[in-house]
Amino acid sequence: MVFVSENRIKLVVGLGNPGDEYEDTRHNVGFDIVERLQELLPGAFTRQHGGNSIFLQGRFKGGNIYIQKPMTYMNLSGKAVAWLAKKKDILPQEIMLVYDDVDLPLGRLRLRKIGGSAGHRGVESVINELGCNSFSRLRIGIGSSGENGQIEHVLSGFSPDEHEIWTKVRTIAVDAVVMALSRGVAQAMNEFNGMFITDDEHSE
């Protein structure tokens, strides 16, 4: 039996919308997490602009690593991702997206190696531009809209009661990405997919 190792993640993309009016909204949790990721990874990163995106280039575990924030609006995110992947010869299997998910409650996160868009416009764009769905993804639960409209929900901020949970989720999500980068997505899935983070503690 031949063991085939999984692809090393070379590009981590946080999905969100550019502009001050979208800062600190649920739809921009991907931006928040990759910003924190860059702060915690060791070594120096160079900041660059290109392909309607901001991206950072550095080294991690002996290889190049890129952290990207598309500066298009969410539904065009794939153009920026495909541009950088082509420029740096990065395979879809070497990409991880980080984004919000209304189908998961706040306090949950899910890592997957492959999957559909589940209606997320940013993920749909990436699938369309790459021509496949074989990239990893970290879905961050932001809760459902309830009686409010979904657009209003995703473009709202976290309530004071939710903010403590979100702060913990952001820290744990960064830990999950770091483990995926260093030990592989499968290991990170085993470690983090069972967690439910509350305002008191997180548990499996």
Amino acid at 4: V
pLDDT at 149: 67
Within 13 Å of residue 197, how many CA atoms lie on the same side as its CB? 24
Buried b (16+ CB within 10 A) or exposed e, 47-76: eeeebebbbbbeebeeeebbbbbbbbbbee
Is the dihedral angle over the CA atoms 115, 119, 125, 129 positive or is it negative?
A: positive
pLDDT at 203: 45
Please tell me the least confidently modeled range out of 14-28, 53-67, 70-84, 147-161: 147-161
pLDDT at 5: 58
- Catalytic residue positions, numbered: 27
Q: What global pTM score does this model have?
A: 0.93
User: Does residue 100 have a pLDDT over 90?
Assistant: yes
pLDDT at 6: 77
> The tokens of 41 are what?
């990874």
User: Does residue 179 have a pLDDT over 70?
Assistant: yes
User: Residue 15: helix, strand or coil by DSSP?
Assistant: coil
Question: Which ranges constitute the DSSP H helices of 1-120?
Answer: 29-40, 77-87
Query: What is the three-state SS of 142-193?
Result: CCCCCCCCHHHHHCCCCCHHHHHHHHHHHHHHHHHHHHHHHHCHHHHHHHHC
What tens digit of pLDDT does each residue of 46-75 get?
999 999 999 999 999 899 999 999 999 999
> Could you give the domains of the chain?
11-203 (3.40.50.1470)
